[in-house]
A and B are shown apart, each in its own frame.
Chain A
Amino acid sequence: MLNILVIGAGTMGRMHAGSFAKMKCVSLVGIVDTDLNKAAKLADQLDTKAFRTYEEAVQQSLVIDAVSICVPTPVHKEFLLKAADDKKHIICEKPLARTLTDAKEMIMYCSERDVKLFVGHVVRFSPEYIKAKLAVEKGVVGKPAVVRTSRGGKFPVASNDWYTAYDSSGGLVLDLLIHDFDFLRWCFGEVERVYAKSSRGRVYERLEYALVTLRYKSGVIAHVEGSWAHQKFTTKFEIAGTEGIIDYDSSKVVSVLTGQNQSNSGGGAAVPESPLEESSYYRELEHFVHCIKTNDDPVISAADAYKAMEISMAVLESIETGKAVTLNNNVKELI
């Protein structure tokens, strides 16, 4: 049995705690949130304990093998250092940190203390993305050439509205597009340079929109759209190569559509779904639990998470400067 403490009872904390509660080989020992009511509500649902602080949880819980850090990005480091000091293995939501310096320090801190660090790049566990990667590896599209991805929906609502604070969240590019940067690097290798534009500084409404071009060392050209300016969360990708094309659009995958009439004459709303027995989050967390138990290498290493951040930072720099940014690709010491 692996004893896991979830830190943070927000959207991601709920996702993690709910997944762990379902796993037979995991004991969810508690949920930490400075808002104790929030933690208690979730703990009640999942039949576990609620704590206001990490320290209280450590004092009261008998055994904690690992922690899952699901707090806003700028606070990741604080909890990671504490948990690593206590020799707990760490699962941390993406992005690992707000700055590369912090990320590097966090990775080193864990490795020096022999603590495993897993970063939640959940797209690597999403079946549509995995299928596409496997097809590309099999040569279905020939040599990949032009790739497009899209991700986004409404502006996120979270505690203290922390997403609106760019200095805290890194905005759309660091928080959301990092998924696509990681997936694309997983499929097409290292990035040579990036060029990007975003709505930041152009509009003051509660929205963000960014368009990014990435050139890979392999020659592949990728275009990444990120949006907190749309109405409904959607992900899309298209991989075009010399021999074929793979495309996916989440808005067109509707395997269950429930329509509810408002009156006898019809009308009303329809809710689309694409249900799977296990969510991508469940698969991801189950994989991390497996790696803790077996010592296997994870599908996404801490160094991969760092690399994805490095790409995000280059994109932010390009948006800031209006220039193309070439990546230096010199983080070998981390691997």
Chain B
Amino acid sequence: MRVGIISFAHGHAYSYTNTLAELEGVKIAGIADENENRGIKAAKQFNTKHYLKYEDLLNEPIDAVIITSENSNHYKHVKAAAKKGIHILCEKPLAHNLKDAQAIIEVCNEHQVILQMAFPVRFNTPVMKGKEIIDSGQLGRLIAIKATNRGTNPAGWFADRSKSGGGAVIDHTVHVVDIMRWYMGAEVKEVYAEVGNLISELNIDDSGMLTMEFDNNVFATLDCSWSRNKGYPTWGDVTLEIIGTNGTLTIDAFGQKNNVYNNEKVYWDFWGDNMNKKLIIDFISTVREGKRPSITGEDGLKALGVAIAAYESSEKNEPIKLK
């Protein structure tokens, strides 16, 4: 199978491509990146060809493409790939706005290509274990979920609203809303959010606290802030506290680590499973077997809808109903 990558604008591209390089029967067909320096460097690193124009990469005989460009370029890149009948793994969020997200789903349907969302947290082993525990029914009826997905302001295009669609809220909400939907098979009915630009000098939201009401009578909150500072021992987290009538469940997706105390810095050395790798393996097997993707474009759209509604809520200081 020949797989291409469009853009290394999103840092996840490195981890995804690393996995492609390890997989048997997969060939990295090339890397398209309009940022020439970045593209040439990446192509060299992965021993493949750099294309300045993504159209040129898509003209090659490839089966699938991973799109890790800026959020605002997802539609352009998805459309071009879909028209060539190339299957797609799209980085999250699906797009920087709902209009593009809708169009992405439509164009993939129209051309009958697989569109999978890159929500790697679904493949995090402790998070998967959590799904198993919930499905077993041992927690009883679910009441609430308290979640965090904190991080650090990535700056660059992430802090440019025209390219990203927003800051911490759009960047981190989608991961956790996807997990909550997956855990419960329920949809968000209403969202309230307090959003702020309280931490970084960059003019973009970096603090966000969402409260959600699901259609199964469960409520949830999510702290999606880019609130980890330079001295913090790790980049961020994904945690879930699930409350049921018969018990509670606490998931710390990146809690498997050693604490390291070096003279220069203190950090957490993670030794858990590589969720990005598991995501890529899943996508490749989906393409190979022509399956329905484990995480669909609709999943991406639903998660994005919550983030967009959160912004609206924070402007109006009132809860927003989802359509």
Min Cβ gap B199→A in Å is: 5
> Please, which residues of chain A bring their CB within 8 A of the CB of B248?
229-231
Could you say which of A5-13, A123-131, A140-148, A259-267 contacts chain B? A140-148
Is B144 an interface residue when CB atoms closer than 8 A count as contact? yes
**Are A195 and B194 also in contact (CB < 8 A) when A245-B227, A245-B229 are?**
yes
Is B278 an interface residue when CB atoms closer than 8 A count as contact? no
> Please, which residues of chain B bring their CB within 8 A of the CB of A326?
317
> Please, which residues of chain A bring their CB within 8 A of the CB of B219?
197, 211
Produce 1/0 per residue, A222-261, CB < 8 A to B.
0101010111000000001111110000000000000000
Is B181 an interface residue when CB atoms closer than 8 A count as contact? no
- Interface residue from A196, A197, A213, A240 paired with B225 (Cβ < 8 Å): A240
- B141 adjacent to A203 (CB under 8 Å): yes
> Please, which residues of chain B bring their CB within 8 A of the CB of A242?
198-200, 229
> Please, which residues of chain B bring their CB within 8 A of the CB of A203?
141, 143, 245
- Interface residue from A146, A196, A202, A230 paired with B227 (Cβ < 8 Å): A146
- Interface residue from B198, B200, B319 paired with A322 (Cβ < 8 Å): B319
- A145 adjacent to B194 (CB under 8 Å): no
> Please, which residues of chain B bring their CB within 8 A of the CB of A146?
198-199, 207, 209, 223, 225, 227
Is A215 an interface residue when CB atoms closer than 8 A count as contact? yes
A196 to B200, CA, bound (A): 27
Produce 1/0 per residue, A116-157, CB < 8 A to B.
000000000000000000000000000101101000000000
> Please, which residues of chain A bring their CB within 8 A of the CB of B318?
323-324
Produce 1/0 per residue, B276-288, CB < 8 A to A.
0000000000000
| Chain B: CB-nearest residue to A218 | B198
- A219 adjacent to B198 (CB under 8 Å): yes
| Chain A: CB-nearest residue to B168 | A146
| Chain A: CB-nearest residue to B244 | A229
A-B contacts counted at CB < 8 A amount to: 106
Is B10 an interface residue when CB atoms closer than 8 A count as contact? no
> Please, which residues of chain A bring their CB within 8 A of the CB of B227?
145-146, 240, 245
For residues 306 through 325 of chain A, which have their beta carbon under 8 Å from a beta carbon of chain B? 322-324
Most B CB within 10 A of own CB, among A146, A244, A322, A326: A146
For residues 170 through 221 of chain A, which have their beta carbon under 8 Å from a beta carbon of chain B? 193, 195-197, 199, 202-203, 205, 207, 209, 211, 213, 215, 219-221
For residues 242 through 297 of chain B, which have their beta carbon under 8 Å from a beta carbon of chain A? 243, 245, 248
For residues 299 through 323 of chain B, which have their beta carbon under 8 Å from a beta carbon of chain A? 317-319
Is B221 an interface residue when CB atoms closer than 8 A count as contact? yes
**Complex A-B, nearest 4 residue pairs according to Cβ-Cβ distance, in ascending order:** A145-B198, A197-B219, A240-B227, A211-B221
A326 to B199, CA, bound (A): 24
**Are A209 and B243 also in contact (CB < 8 A) when A240-B227, A245-B229, A323-B318 are?**
yes
> Please, which residues of chain B bring their CB within 8 A of the CB of A213?
192, 194, 209, 211, 221
**Are A195 and B245 also in contact (CB < 8 A) when A145-B225, A213-B194, A240-B227 are?**
no
Is B156 an interface residue when CB atoms closer than 8 A count as contact? no
> Please, which residues of chain A bring their CB within 8 A of the CB of B148?
148
Other A-B pairs, 17, CB within 8 Å; known A230-B248, A242-B198: A146-B199, A195-B211, A197-B219, A199-B144, A211-B221, A213-B221, A215-B194, A223-B221, A223-B223, A225-B241, A231-B248, A240-B229, A242-B200, A242-B229, A322-B319, A324-B318, A326-B317
Is B232 an interface residue when CB atoms closer than 8 A count as contact? yes
A206 to B87, CA, bound (A): 51
> Please, which residues of chain B bring their CB within 8 A of the CB of A323?
318-319
Min Cβ gap B224→A in Å is: 10
Is B213 an interface residue when CB atoms closer than 8 A count as contact? yes
| Chain A: CB-nearest residue to B217 | A202
- A193 adjacent to B317 (CB under 8 Å): yes
- B198 adjacent to A221 (CB under 8 Å): yes
A196 to B319, CA, bound (A): 11
> Please, which residues of chain A bring their CB within 8 A of the CB of B141?
203
A330 to B193, CA, bound (A): 26
Is B131 an interface residue when CB atoms closer than 8 A count as contact? no
A63 to B211, CA, bound (A): 54
A292 to B37, CA, bound (A): 73
A83 to B144, CA, bound (A): 43
- B146 adjacent to A211 (CB under 8 Å): yes
Most A CB within 10 A of own CB, among B143, B213, B232: B143
> Please, which residues of chain A bring their CB within 8 A of the CB of B223?
146, 148, 223
> Please, which residues of chain B bring their CB within 8 A of the CB of A207?
143, 245
Produce 1/0 per residue, B223-244, CB < 8 A to A.
1010111011000000001010
A115 to B213, CA, bound (A): 47
- B232 adjacent to A197 (CB under 8 Å): no
- Interface residue from A209, A220, A244, A322 paired with B144 (Cβ < 8 Å): A209
Is B85 an interface residue when CB atoms closer than 8 A count as contact? no
| Chain B: CB-nearest residue to A202 | B217
Most B CB within 10 A of own CB, among A229, A241, A243, A323: A229
> Please, which residues of chain A bring their CB within 8 A of the CB of B225?
145-146, 221, 240
> Please, which residues of chain B bring their CB within 8 A of the CB of A243?
229
> Please, which residues of chain B bring their CB within 8 A of the CB of A244?
229, 231
| Chain A: CB-nearest residue to B223 | A223
A243 to B227, CA, bound (A): 10
A322 to B319, CA, bound (A): 8
Min Cβ gap B213→A in Å is: 7
- A211 adjacent to B198 (CB under 8 Å): no
A220 to B207, CA, bound (A): 9
A219 to B196, CA, bound (A): 8
Min Cβ gap B319→A in Å is: 7
Min Cβ gap A184→B in Å is: 14
| Chain B: CB-nearest residue to A144 | B198
- A221 adjacent to B199 (CB under 8 Å): no
A199 to B229, CA, bound (A): 34
**Are A211 and B144 also in contact (CB < 8 A) when A221-B207, A324-B318 are?**
yes
